[in-house]
Amino acid sequence: MDPVELIWRNGEFVAWEDAQTHVLSHGLHYGTGVFEGIRCYDTPRGPAVFRHQDHLDRLEKSAELYYLELPYSAEEIRRATHELLRRNELRSAYIRPLAYRGYGSLGLYAKDAPVDVIIAAFPWGAYLGEESKNGGIRAKVSSWRRISPAGSIPHAKASGSYLNSILAKTESANAGYDEAILLDERGFVCEGSGENIFVVREGEILTPPHTASILDGINRKSVIQIARDLGYTVVERDIARAELYLAEEVFLTGTAAEMVPVREIDDHEIGGPGEITRHVQAKFMDALHGRADEYLEWLDFVDVAADASADARDGAKLGAEEIASTDEEIGRITPAA
Protein backbone atom coordinates (compact mmCIF):
# COMPACT_ATOMS: atom_id res chain seq x y z
CA MET A 1 0.00 0.00 0.00
CA ASP A 2 1.23 3.42 -0.95
CA PRO A 3 0.16 5.87 1.81
CA VAL A 4 -1.00 9.37 0.98
CA GLU A 5 -1.52 12.29 3.28
CA LEU A 6 -5.17 12.28 4.24
CA ILE A 7 -8.15 10.02 4.83
CA TRP A 8 -11.69 11.31 5.21
CA ARG A 9 -13.35 10.02 8.36
CA ASN A 10 -16.81 10.93 9.62
CA GLY A 11 -16.79 14.32 7.95
CA GLU A 12 -13.21 15.35 8.65
CA PHE A 13 -9.83 14.93 7.03
CA VAL A 14 -7.35 13.10 9.23
CA ALA A 15 -3.73 12.14 8.66
CA TRP A 16 -3.35 8.70 7.04
CA GLU A 17 -1.60 7.30 10.14
CA ASP A 18 -4.23 8.72 12.49
CA ALA A 19 -7.16 7.00 10.76
CA GLN A 20 -7.51 4.39 13.52
CA THR A 21 -10.51 2.56 14.92
CA HIS A 22 -11.28 1.08 18.34
CA VAL A 23 -10.46 -2.62 18.73
CA LEU A 24 -14.01 -3.24 19.95
CA SER A 25 -15.59 -1.81 16.82
CA HIS A 26 -18.50 -3.99 15.77
CA GLY A 27 -17.38 -4.21 12.16
CA LEU A 28 -13.98 -5.55 13.14
CA HIS A 29 -15.58 -8.47 14.97
CA TYR A 30 -18.46 -9.36 12.67
CA GLY A 31 -17.73 -7.81 9.28
CA THR A 32 -20.67 -5.43 9.60
CA GLY A 33 -19.59 -3.00 6.93
CA VAL A 34 -20.37 -2.13 3.35
CA PHE A 35 -17.92 -0.62 0.93
CA GLU A 36 -17.08 0.28 -2.63
CA GLY A 37 -14.07 -0.01 -4.87
CA ILE A 38 -13.94 2.89 -7.31
CA ARG A 39 -11.30 4.28 -9.63
CA CYS A 40 -10.41 7.78 -10.71
CA TYR A 41 -8.54 8.12 -14.02
CA ASP A 42 -6.43 10.94 -15.32
CA THR A 43 -8.28 11.65 -18.55
CA PRO A 44 -7.40 14.20 -21.25
CA ARG A 45 -10.14 16.43 -19.72
CA GLY A 46 -8.84 16.06 -16.17
CA PRO A 47 -9.26 13.54 -13.37
CA ALA A 48 -12.57 11.68 -13.53
CA VAL A 49 -14.21 9.11 -11.28
CA PHE A 50 -15.63 6.25 -13.32
CA ARG A 51 -19.37 5.71 -12.79
CA HIS A 52 -19.19 7.41 -9.41
CA GLN A 53 -22.95 7.71 -8.97
CA ASP A 54 -23.46 4.01 -9.74
CA HIS A 55 -20.95 3.08 -7.06
CA LEU A 56 -22.60 5.40 -4.54
CA ASP A 57 -26.02 3.97 -5.39
CA ARG A 58 -24.69 0.47 -4.79
CA LEU A 59 -23.15 1.59 -1.48
CA GLU A 60 -26.52 2.90 -0.35
CA LYS A 61 -28.28 -0.31 -1.41
CA SER A 62 -25.67 -2.49 0.33
CA ALA A 63 -26.12 -0.41 3.49
CA GLU A 64 -29.89 -0.73 3.33
CA LEU A 65 -29.70 -4.50 2.91
CA TYR A 66 -27.64 -4.76 6.12
CA TYR A 67 -29.70 -2.19 8.07
CA LEU A 68 -26.87 0.36 8.22
CA GLU A 69 -28.16 3.91 8.25
CA LEU A 70 -25.61 6.00 6.41
CA PRO A 71 -25.05 9.30 8.24
CA TYR A 72 -24.03 10.97 4.96
CA SER A 73 -25.89 11.26 1.70
CA ALA A 74 -24.44 9.93 -1.52
CA GLU A 75 -23.86 13.51 -2.61
CA GLU A 76 -21.95 14.33 0.56
CA ILE A 77 -19.76 11.27 0.05
CA ARG A 78 -19.25 12.24 -3.59
CA ARG A 79 -18.16 15.77 -2.70
CA ALA A 80 -15.93 14.53 0.10
CA THR A 81 -14.30 12.12 -2.36
CA HIS A 82 -13.58 14.93 -4.81
CA GLU A 83 -12.10 17.01 -2.01
CA LEU A 84 -10.02 14.08 -0.80
CA LEU A 85 -8.57 13.60 -4.29
CA ARG A 86 -7.76 17.31 -4.45
CA ARG A 87 -6.14 17.43 -1.02
CA ASN A 88 -4.08 14.31 -1.67
CA GLU A 89 -3.10 15.70 -5.07
CA LEU A 90 -4.25 12.55 -6.82
CA ARG A 91 -5.12 12.60 -10.50
CA SER A 92 -5.69 8.87 -10.59
CA ALA A 93 -6.47 6.64 -7.66
CA TYR A 94 -8.28 3.67 -6.24
CA ILE A 95 -11.05 4.99 -3.98
CA ARG A 96 -12.40 3.02 -1.05
CA PRO A 97 -15.45 4.32 0.83
CA LEU A 98 -16.42 2.12 3.78
CA ALA A 99 -19.33 2.39 6.21
CA TYR A 100 -19.12 0.11 9.23
CA ARG A 101 -20.60 -0.33 12.65
CA GLY A 102 -18.21 1.26 15.07
CA TYR A 103 -17.65 1.19 18.80
CA GLY A 104 -20.61 0.98 21.16
CA SER A 105 -22.03 -2.52 21.29
CA LEU A 106 -20.93 -6.07 20.58
CA GLY A 107 -24.43 -7.52 20.52
CA LEU A 108 -25.58 -8.85 17.18
CA TYR A 109 -28.67 -6.65 17.18
CA ALA A 110 -26.47 -3.59 17.19
CA LYS A 111 -28.74 -0.73 16.31
CA ASP A 112 -26.97 1.40 18.93
CA ALA A 113 -23.48 0.95 17.50
CA PRO A 114 -22.69 4.03 15.41
CA VAL A 115 -22.14 3.80 11.67
CA ASP A 116 -18.69 5.21 10.93
CA VAL A 117 -17.80 6.24 7.39
CA ILE A 118 -14.37 6.60 5.89
CA ILE A 119 -13.12 7.34 2.40
CA ALA A 120 -9.57 6.50 1.38
CA ALA A 121 -7.97 7.25 -1.99
CA PHE A 122 -4.52 6.06 -2.94
CA PRO A 123 -2.51 4.92 -5.95
CA TRP A 124 -3.13 1.28 -6.86
CA GLY A 125 -2.12 -0.29 -10.15
CA ALA A 126 -3.88 -3.13 -11.93
CA TYR A 127 -5.01 -5.66 -9.29
CA LEU A 128 -3.96 -8.75 -11.23
CA GLY A 129 -0.83 -7.09 -12.61
CA GLU A 130 -0.34 -4.75 -15.54
CA GLU A 131 0.79 -7.66 -17.70
CA SER A 132 -2.44 -9.57 -17.04
CA LYS A 133 -4.46 -7.18 -19.17
CA ASN A 134 -2.43 -8.11 -22.27
CA GLY A 135 -1.24 -11.63 -21.59
CA GLY A 136 -4.18 -13.02 -19.65
CA ILE A 137 -4.21 -14.98 -16.41
CA ARG A 138 -4.47 -18.57 -15.18
CA ALA A 139 -7.58 -19.28 -13.10
CA LYS A 140 -8.74 -22.16 -10.97
CA VAL A 141 -12.32 -23.20 -10.31
CA SER A 142 -12.57 -22.96 -6.56
CA SER A 143 -13.69 -25.75 -4.28
CA TRP A 144 -15.46 -22.99 -2.33
CA ARG A 145 -18.91 -22.04 -3.61
CA ARG A 146 -20.00 -18.40 -3.74
CA ILE A 147 -22.10 -17.34 -0.72
CA SER A 148 -25.66 -18.50 -1.12
CA PRO A 149 -28.59 -16.09 -1.33
CA ALA A 150 -30.30 -18.42 1.13
CA GLY A 151 -27.87 -17.52 3.91
CA SER A 152 -26.38 -14.18 2.97
CA ILE A 153 -26.68 -11.44 0.36
CA PRO A 154 -24.39 -11.85 -2.67
CA HIS A 155 -25.82 -8.61 -4.14
CA ALA A 156 -24.47 -6.48 -1.30
CA LYS A 157 -20.84 -5.40 -1.32
CA ALA A 158 -20.47 -6.20 2.36
CA SER A 159 -17.24 -6.63 4.30
CA GLY A 160 -18.19 -9.98 5.83
CA SER A 161 -18.97 -11.49 2.42
CA TYR A 162 -15.32 -11.20 1.49
CA LEU A 163 -14.31 -14.05 3.80
CA ASN A 164 -15.79 -16.22 1.06
CA SER A 165 -13.76 -14.47 -1.64
CA ILE A 166 -10.62 -14.71 0.51
CA LEU A 167 -10.98 -18.48 0.92
CA ALA A 168 -11.29 -18.91 -2.83
CA LYS A 169 -8.49 -16.49 -3.67
CA THR A 170 -6.13 -18.05 -1.13
CA GLU A 171 -6.82 -21.55 -2.39
CA SER A 172 -6.11 -20.53 -5.98
CA ALA A 173 -2.97 -18.58 -5.08
CA ASN A 174 -1.63 -21.45 -2.96
CA ALA A 175 -2.17 -23.74 -5.94
CA GLY A 176 -0.15 -21.37 -8.15
CA TYR A 177 -3.01 -19.69 -10.03
CA ASP A 178 -3.66 -15.98 -10.50
CA GLU A 179 -7.36 -15.98 -9.65
CA ALA A 180 -10.26 -18.15 -8.48
CA ILE A 181 -13.54 -18.71 -10.30
CA LEU A 182 -16.39 -19.52 -7.93
CA LEU A 183 -19.44 -21.57 -8.81
CA ASP A 184 -22.79 -20.67 -7.27
CA GLU A 185 -24.50 -22.96 -4.79
CA ARG A 186 -26.14 -24.87 -7.68
CA GLY A 187 -22.82 -25.51 -9.39
CA PHE A 188 -23.17 -22.96 -12.19
CA VAL A 189 -20.41 -20.46 -12.95
CA CYS A 190 -20.73 -17.35 -10.78
CA GLU A 191 -17.73 -14.98 -10.82
CA GLY A 192 -14.10 -14.42 -9.88
CA SER A 193 -13.14 -13.70 -6.27
CA GLY A 194 -13.30 -9.97 -7.06
CA GLU A 195 -14.50 -9.81 -10.66
CA ASN A 196 -17.46 -10.74 -12.84
CA ILE A 197 -16.92 -13.28 -15.59
CA PHE A 198 -17.70 -13.41 -19.32
CA VAL A 199 -17.43 -16.41 -21.63
CA VAL A 200 -17.39 -16.35 -25.45
CA ARG A 201 -19.03 -19.34 -27.13
CA GLU A 202 -19.82 -19.57 -30.85
CA GLY A 203 -19.22 -15.86 -31.19
CA GLU A 204 -21.70 -14.89 -28.47
CA ILE A 205 -20.74 -13.31 -25.18
CA LEU A 206 -22.30 -15.04 -22.18
CA THR A 207 -22.33 -13.90 -18.56
CA PRO A 208 -24.07 -15.32 -15.48
CA PRO A 209 -27.37 -13.64 -14.50
CA HIS A 210 -28.21 -11.96 -11.20
CA THR A 211 -29.87 -15.17 -10.01
CA ALA A 212 -26.45 -16.87 -10.09
CA SER A 213 -25.40 -15.02 -6.89
CA ILE A 214 -23.17 -12.50 -8.67
CA LEU A 215 -22.30 -9.06 -7.41
CA ASP A 216 -24.00 -6.57 -9.74
CA GLY A 217 -20.70 -5.33 -11.12
CA ILE A 218 -20.52 -1.84 -12.50
CA ASN A 219 -17.85 -2.82 -15.00
CA ARG A 220 -19.97 -5.84 -15.95
CA LYS A 221 -22.77 -3.43 -16.80
CA SER A 222 -20.39 -1.21 -18.75
CA VAL A 223 -18.88 -4.08 -20.71
CA ILE A 224 -22.32 -5.46 -21.58
CA GLN A 225 -23.29 -2.08 -22.99
CA ILE A 226 -20.02 -1.59 -24.84
CA ALA A 227 -20.13 -5.08 -26.34
CA ARG A 228 -23.72 -4.57 -27.51
CA ASP A 229 -22.83 -1.15 -28.94
CA LEU A 230 -20.02 -2.85 -30.86
CA GLY A 231 -22.58 -5.23 -32.35
CA TYR A 232 -21.98 -8.34 -30.26
CA THR A 233 -24.75 -10.46 -28.80
CA VAL A 234 -24.53 -10.59 -25.00
CA VAL A 235 -26.64 -13.20 -23.24
CA GLU A 236 -27.15 -13.34 -19.47
CA ARG A 237 -27.68 -17.02 -18.70
CA ASP A 238 -26.48 -19.82 -16.47
CA ILE A 239 -23.11 -21.18 -17.56
CA ALA A 240 -22.11 -24.76 -16.83
CA ARG A 241 -18.60 -25.40 -15.52
CA ALA A 242 -17.61 -27.37 -18.62
CA GLU A 243 -18.51 -24.37 -20.78
CA LEU A 244 -15.53 -22.60 -19.24
CA TYR A 245 -13.26 -25.28 -20.64
CA LEU A 246 -15.04 -25.25 -24.01
CA ALA A 247 -14.99 -21.46 -24.30
CA GLU A 248 -13.34 -19.66 -27.19
CA GLU A 249 -12.52 -16.76 -24.89
CA VAL A 250 -13.00 -15.92 -21.21
CA PHE A 251 -12.46 -12.60 -19.47
CA LEU A 252 -13.04 -10.97 -16.09
CA THR A 253 -14.20 -7.46 -15.26
CA GLY A 254 -13.93 -5.42 -12.07
CA THR A 255 -12.87 -2.04 -10.81
CA ALA A 256 -9.60 -3.26 -9.33
CA ALA A 257 -8.68 -5.65 -12.16
CA GLU A 258 -10.36 -3.66 -14.98
CA MET A 259 -10.73 -6.16 -17.87
CA VAL A 260 -8.51 -9.22 -17.84
CA PRO A 261 -8.46 -12.13 -20.31
CA VAL A 262 -8.25 -15.65 -18.87
CA ARG A 263 -5.88 -17.85 -20.87
CA GLU A 264 -6.08 -21.06 -18.82
CA ILE A 265 -8.64 -22.57 -16.43
CA ASP A 266 -7.67 -25.56 -14.29
CA ASP A 267 -5.78 -27.75 -16.74
CA HIS A 268 -7.60 -26.47 -19.83
CA GLU A 269 -5.95 -24.06 -22.25
CA ILE A 270 -8.30 -21.29 -23.43
CA GLY A 271 -5.60 -19.49 -25.37
CA GLY A 272 -4.31 -15.94 -25.54
CA PRO A 273 -6.67 -12.97 -25.54
CA GLY A 274 -9.15 -13.55 -28.38
CA GLU A 275 -10.41 -11.13 -30.98
CA ILE A 276 -13.69 -10.31 -29.22
CA THR A 277 -11.97 -9.81 -25.86
CA ARG A 278 -9.41 -7.47 -27.40
CA HIS A 279 -12.04 -5.51 -29.31
CA VAL A 280 -14.25 -4.95 -26.26
CA GLN A 281 -11.26 -4.36 -24.00
CA ALA A 282 -9.86 -1.60 -26.21
CA LYS A 283 -13.17 0.29 -26.13
CA PHE A 284 -13.58 -0.33 -22.41
CA MET A 285 -10.11 1.08 -21.67
CA ASP A 286 -10.97 4.09 -23.83
CA ALA A 287 -14.15 4.58 -21.78
CA LEU A 288 -12.27 4.39 -18.47
CA HIS A 289 -9.64 6.86 -19.62
CA GLY A 290 -12.05 9.36 -21.16
CA ARG A 291 -11.04 8.64 -24.76
CA ALA A 292 -14.50 7.47 -25.87
CA ASP A 293 -16.88 10.38 -26.40
CA GLU A 294 -19.93 8.12 -26.40
CA TYR A 295 -19.22 7.10 -22.79
CA LEU A 296 -18.15 10.45 -21.34
CA GLU A 297 -21.39 10.55 -19.36
CA TRP A 298 -19.95 7.77 -17.19
CA LEU A 299 -17.22 10.09 -15.93
CA ASP A 300 -17.60 12.30 -12.86
CA PHE A 301 -14.96 14.95 -13.46
CA VAL A 302 -13.09 16.31 -10.46
CA ASP A 303 -12.72 20.07 -10.48
CA VAL A 304 -9.08 20.26 -9.44
CA ALA A 305 -9.32 23.98 -8.75
CA ALA A 306 -12.56 23.92 -6.76
CA ASP A 307 -12.97 25.73 -3.48
CA ALA A 308 -13.76 23.49 -0.50
CA SER A 309 -15.99 26.09 1.14
CA ALA A 310 -19.08 25.10 -0.84
CA ASP A 311 -18.72 21.54 0.38
CA ALA A 312 -18.20 22.73 3.95
CA ARG A 313 -21.34 24.90 3.76
CA ASP A 314 -23.31 21.86 2.64
CA GLY A 315 -22.50 20.05 5.83
CA ALA A 316 -19.64 17.81 4.79
CA LYS A 317 -17.38 19.58 7.36
CA LEU A 318 -14.45 19.49 5.06
CA GLY A 319 -12.08 21.51 7.21
CA ALA A 320 -10.12 24.62 6.42
CA GLU A 321 -6.73 23.54 5.15
CA GLU A 322 -5.35 24.97 1.94
CA ILE A 323 -6.17 22.97 -1.15
CA ALA A 324 -4.01 22.55 -4.19
CA SER A 325 -5.29 24.70 -6.99
CA THR A 326 -3.31 24.11 -10.14
CA ASP A 327 -2.66 21.14 -12.36
CA GLU A 328 1.06 21.43 -11.61
CA GLU A 329 0.45 21.20 -7.87
CA ILE A 330 -1.84 18.24 -8.28
CA GLY A 331 -0.28 16.23 -11.06
CA ARG A 332 2.17 13.96 -9.31
CA ILE A 333 0.48 10.60 -9.80
CA THR A 334 0.55 8.78 -13.12
CA PRO A 335 -2.52 6.88 -14.37
CA ALA A 336 -3.09 3.47 -12.81
CA ALA A 337 -3.49 1.70 -16.11
Ligand X SMILES: Cc1ncc(COP(=O)(O)O)c(C=O)c1O
| Strand 93-101 versus strand 38-43 pairing type | antiparallel
Q: How far apart are CA 181 and CA 30, in angstroms?
A: 25
E runs forming strands in 85-231: 93-101, 115-122, 137-141, 179-183, 189-192, 196-201, 204-207
Position among 120, 215, 227, 280 found at the interface with ligand X (CB under 6 A): 215
Position among 25, 165, 207, 213 found at the interface with ligand X (CB under 6 A): 165
Looking only at residues 264 through 283 of this chain, which bind ligand X when binding is defined by CB under 6 A? none
Q: Is 43 in the site for ligand X (CB under 6 A)?
A: no
Residues 116-155, one symbol each (x = binds ligand X by CB under 6 A, - = not), give ----------------------------------------
Is 157 designated active site? yes
The count of chain residues that interact with ligand X, using the rule CB under 6 A, is 14
Q: Is 179 in the site for ligand X (CB under 6 A)?
A: no
Position among 116, 178, 191, 300 found at the interface with ligand X (CB under 6 A): 191
Q: How far apart are CA 82 and CA 74, in angstroms?
A: 12
Position among 37, 123, 261, 273 found at the interface with ligand X (CB under 6 A): 37
Collapsing DSSP to helix, strand or coil, 210 comes out as helix
* Chain centroid, CA 129 distance in Å: 16
Looking only at residues 216 through 235 of this chain, which bind ligand X when binding is defined by CB under 6 A? 217-220
Instruction: Considering the complex, state which of residue 99 and residue 218 has its C-beta at the smaller distance from ligand X.
Output: 218
**Euclidean distance between the first and final Cα of the chain, in Å?**
17
Of the ranges 107-115, 136-144, 171-179, 250-258, which one interacts with ligand X (CB under 6 A)? 250-258
Dihedral class, residue 22 (left if φ above 0, else alpha if ψ from -120 to 50, else beta): beta
Position among 83, 116, 195, 249 found at the interface with ligand X (CB under 6 A): 195
Instruction: Considering the complex, state which of residue 172 and residue 318 has its C-beta at the smaller distance from ligand X.
Output: 172
Q: Convert 188-222 to b/e letters by CB count within 10 Å (16 or more is b).
A: bbbbbbbbbbbbbbeeebbbbeeebbbbebbbbeb
Q: How far apart are CA 314 and CA 64, in angstroms?
A: 24
Q: Is 83 in the site for ligand X (CB under 6 A)?
A: no
Instruction: Considering the complex, state which of residue 56 and residue 218 has its C-beta at the smaller distance from ligand X.
Output: 218
Catalytic residue among 133, 157, 169, 283: 157
The sign of the CA dihedral 163, 41, 329, 119 is: negative
Supply the residues annotated as catalytic.
157
Q: Applying CB under 6 A, which residues contact ligand X? A: 37, 165, 191, 194-196, 215, 217-220, 253-255
